[in-house]
Amino acid sequence: MSRPMLLMLSLSPLLGCVNSRTQWIEVTVTTTLLAEEGLSGPVYGEWNHTWSGEGELRVPLLPFEDFTAEGPGVSTSTFRAPLDGVEGLTLYAWMDLDGDGLHCAPGVTDEPAGLAEALPYPATEAEVTLTLDAPCLGAEALWDGG
Amino acid sequence: MSPLSLLLAFVLATPALAERPPQNPDPRPMGPPDPHLDALAGASDLGDWAVSLEAGFPFFGVRGQVATPWAGLNAVGSVNSALFADTWALGGVSMRWVDTHRVVLSGELLVGGTVRTGDLSRRGPAAQTTLRLARGHGRVVPALTLSSRQVLLTDVQVNQTAEGELIERSRAVAWSPVASFDVGVGVCPGFAVSAGLDVPWFDPPGFSLPGAHLNLIVGGWK
């Protein structure tokens, strides 16, 4: 065995020492947004990890990516999600009927919201159908406990 | 004085010159071995060695050095841990750069690896460069040590995509300097103790608590 090869073999345990290894999945989600007939407006929301953390620190609905759509209908989103320490993919969205960029600002009581889980997960392609039928409710109020 | 008498005087004097004892090969007029000095100075004399055991807050460790016959180099091995959560295992060489009756200045280059556990865990190949300045003679030896530690952090991200698996690697170097001041005392030939203060700086610019330690040192026999 040559000396350079012997040196490389000797150093390989050190050079190959990895500090951290993180696994991600690039997910393309086809989203179908349903709303009451006659309602239209831009839709805003966020993608959530359905569950994250471990043990006593395990919590539901941790937002990690914004969601926007021009209105009800079918749209596609592509983003990266971690595979370690989280489970599931849940979309929370609401329709901005008055165009103020705020969900149910004071005096507004009719902007519909919805929550739905994308399946399958983890997978590079998933689908979710979300019905915007809950006026002025936040993600926590729509969460059914998983 | 005639040339003949000069020649006679030279011939008579030559045996006396030849009988002079050879000069001390050790340039330092150290007398008996000083293992505490050798350990605190970072390098031993040829044929000597020193091992020090350290305990304190936050550092615990063991360090050994042995002189080699090559270019005044010492072979050095060190395992050092901060509260057994940030451990460095290193090996390399040290050498005295300045070696006088008053002071000894040595340099040290070590390579190896480090593992830190806990919330700020990290691991990777590491290197340490150290300068040591110690008093060059006597039973009580003060010493100043300045160390610079670097660890190479390699983070790997594995991305699963519809096209397959993509692997991204990113690398960064984390720096952790440590300064120490020791006072060593020779207890008996081959055995010494020292006490010192540590000023570590883990992950600058964050603040790190200063510490203190005790060393037991053995070695130094020729």
Share of chain A above pLDDT 90, in %: 79
B50 φ, ψ (degrees, to nearest 5): -155, 140
Per-residue confidence (pLDDT) for residue B5, from 0 to 100: 52
CB contact under 8 A, B125 and A15: yes
Closest among A90, A97, A79, A105 to A43, alpha carbons compared: A97
- pTM for the model stands at 0.71
Question: Cis peptide leading into A122, omega within 30 of 0?
Answer: yes
Per-residue confidence (pLDDT) for residue B21, from 0 to 100: 45
Spatial contact of B37 and B136, defined as CB atoms under 8 Å apart: yes
Angstrom distance (rounded) from CA B120 to CA B149: 17
pLDDT tens digits along B184-208 = 988 888 888 999 999 999 888 888 8
* Chain B hits for A28, Cβ within 8 Å: 162
Per-residue confidence (pLDDT) for residue B73, from 0 to 100: 94
* A25 near B CB under 8 A: yes
The amino acid present at A27, given as its one-letter code, is V
pLDDT tens digits along A37-64 = 989 999 999 999 999 998 999 999 999 9
Domains and CATH numbers, chain A: 23-142 (2.60.40)
Angstrom distance (rounded) from CA B37 to CA B185: 9
- Would you call A141 exposed, middle or buried from its count of C-beta atoms within 10 A (0-12, 13-18, 19+)? exposed
Instruction: List, in sequence order, every residue forming a beta bridge with A20; answer none if it has no partner.
Output: B155
Spatial contact of B39 and B215, defined as CB atoms under 8 Å apart: yes
Angstrom distance (rounded) from CA B58 to CA B39: 20
Spatial contact of B155 and A22, defined as CB atoms under 8 Å apart: yes
Closest among B211, B215, B213, B212 to B186, alpha carbons compared: B215
Number of residues assigned to chain A: 146
Least confident of A71-75, B65-69, B202-206: B202-206
Alpha helices (H) in B19-146, listed in sequence order: 35-41
Chain A closest CA to B93's CA: distance in Å? 17
pLDDT surpasses 50 at A72: yes
* Chain B hits for A18, Cβ within 8 Å: 123-124, 154-156
Fold of the domain spanning B33-219 = Lipocalin (2.40.128)
Strand pairing class (B140-161; B164-188): antiparallel
Average pLDDT over residues A27-39: 94
Facing A24 at nearest CB: one of B124, B160, B162: B160
